[in-house]
Structure 1
Amino acid sequence: MINSKTIKMRYVEEADAEFILKLRLDERYNQFLSEVKADLESQKNWIRAYKKDELDKKQFYFIIERLDGTPCGTVRIYGLKDDSFSWGSWILNEDKTRYSAIESALMVYEFGFNKLKFNKSHFEVMKDNIRVVNFHKKFGAQQVSVDNVNYYFSITKEAVQKSYDKFKGIL
């Protein structure tokens, strides 16, 4: 659906349930994600319900794949409101490409800004997830609030364009 230099993103399908569950249960990747039950049928049911939201354009869940088709992660766009969208459920596993974090973030923003026509994005990151907090700050995200658990950020289409210009040499 959306292609970059080394990865592509496509909508999640029910057949992806096992891959998603494996990712979300893996202790290397799930420290900063909401807990999920180790139940394949529950994951399939969640995807079936999600597909209705996708049709209604309420949220969008993607599998991130290398260009050779090897799945290497997930990301979800949700929380659509006014002129902004949120994103999360962002996981990249050991099969990811060198620049898949940058590429997938830019692809999320491309989808949100160009396909969905939003001008900004809002999202939260757990305070302890320092690598992701720093990643978003380097991308131009501005912290707008904080609570005991999360930092809350906003980023504009213009800030993302500046990041794209900065990274286009490697992309």
Structure 2
Amino acid sequence: MNTLESKTLRLRLVEENDADFILSLRLDERYNAFLSAVPPDVEAQKQWIRKYKHDEQAGNQYYFIIERIDGTPCGTVRVYDLREDSFCWGSWILNQNKTRYAALESAFLVYEFGFEHLGFEKSHFDVMKGNKGVIKFHQRMGAVQIDEDEQNLYFEITKAAVENAKQKLADKIK
């Protein structure tokens, strides 16, 4: 699996030469309010990617560049914390180059990867409490809040819920 494609986007696995793009997203104040901080160091980002590629080869996590079909990168997303029947996803960033339905398309591609390629039945993830738009997005997709702490809400979504959302939103993504 090198890429996954939808109507206007594709996901491809991160490579070391994506370090500048990833760092530019993670350091941009428009996108990083709900992300863990990173140092402004391209070499450190490249080193992180090299380490990550070992995890990818071992099947422990997957980090994707989200790009438009024309090849313009517009975001990132990561699949990690693989459990017996569930995978987590996060590090989801979309920039100003995204397509109109990039959030929907990239989310459905992540679920396709986790459910169809990795064989999971559900997904779990956390969202910082202040990230209202992303919370609403996940709830509309059919995610159910299962826990919370001071900073985060914890969600779970099933393969069936994603399929239901996909049918309801088919006119926007096909």
> What TM-score does the superposition give when structure 1 sets the normalisation length?
1.00
What is the aligned partner in structure 2 of residue 29 from structure 1?
31
Partner AA of 2:94 in structure 1: L
| Secondary structure, counterpart of 1:169 in structure 2 | helix
Q: Which residues of structure 2 form unaligned runs of 5+?
A: none
What is the aligned partner in structure 2 of residue 2 from structure 1?
4
CA distance in 1 between partners of 2:45 and 2:51 (Å): 10
What is the aligned partner in structure 1 of residue 152 from structure 2?
150
Post-superposition Cα deviations, 1:46-99, rounded to whole Å, max 9, x if no partner, equal 000000000000000000000000000000000001100000000000000000
| Secondary structure, counterpart of 1:110 in structure 2 | helix
Task: State the Cα distance separating 1:170 from its structure 2 match.
Answer: 1.4
Number of aligned residues: 171
| Secondary structure, counterpart of 1:131 in structure 2 | helix
1:44-63 maps to which residues of 2 (within 5 A)? 44-63=46-65
Task: State the Cα distance separating 1:169 from its structure 2 match.
Answer: 1.0
1:36-115 maps to which residues of 2 (within 5 A)? 36-115=38-117
What is the aligned partner in structure 1 of residue 162 from structure 2?
160
CA distance in 1 between partners of 2:172 and 2:129 (Å): 29
CA distance in 2 between partners of 1:73 and 1:27 (Å): 15
Post-superposition Cα deviations, 1:8-49, rounded to whole Å, max 9, x if no partner, equal 010000000000000000000000000000000000000000
| Secondary structure, counterpart of 2:165 in structure 1 | helix
Q: Which residues of structure 1 form unaligned runs of 5+?
A: none
> What TM-score does the superposition give when structure 2 sets the normalisation length?
0.98
